[in-house]
Amino acid sequence: MAKIDKFLGKWELIPGQAKYELGSPPSSGTYEIIADGDTLIFKMVWTDGEGKAHDMAYSEVCDGEFYDYPHTEIAYEICLGLKSDKLLESSAKKNGEIVLSAKRELISDSDLKVTMSGSLPNGAIYSNKAMYKKL
């Protein structure tokens, strides 16, 4: 059975390795994953290219099942699953269609690649990739 342990902790953005197709990559930031039973808590703090600070936090049950999502402007259902010791994936659905997905890949015990992708109103797909180093 896959284990979540190596994903847990605080990760620091490596700004020069971010590749964004939508928006501008942050100039700095952290990505934290905390376990609380079967639930994972995600905390992100970042500074955008213009120097403005942002933060976001949310939690998901990590069992591969879809659950109602309270922020219906973004999605109606979300799902988080540990695919292997090196791959943690989540998806968000709206009207039965996947509108956002996130793939977190452990490149090594100290390197995490996060790929966020989704669909634009015109149907085009974007992909934003960021690399993080474990703190």
CA 92 to chain centre: 11
Alpha carbons 102 and 91: distance in angstroms, whole number: 6
Q: So what's the pLDDT on residue 123?
A: 82
Beta-bridge partners for 105: 87, 113
The predicted model scores a pTM of: 0.93
- pLDDT tens for the chain, 135 residues long, are 679 999 999 999 999 999 999 999 999 999 999 999 999 999 999 999 899 999 999 999 999 999 999 888 889 999 999 999 999 999 999 999 999 999 999 999 999 999 999 988 788 899 999 999 999
Which residues lie across from 5 on neighbouring strands? Answer: none
d(CA 120, CA 114): 19
The whole-number pLDDT of residue 1 equals 61
CATH fold for the domain made of 5-134: Lipocalin (2.40.128)
**Cα separation, 39 vs 13, whole angstroms:** 23
Residue 12 CA from chain centroid, whole number = 14
- Structural tokens at position 79: 């799902």
Tokens of 87: 């791959």
pLDDT of res. 74: 86
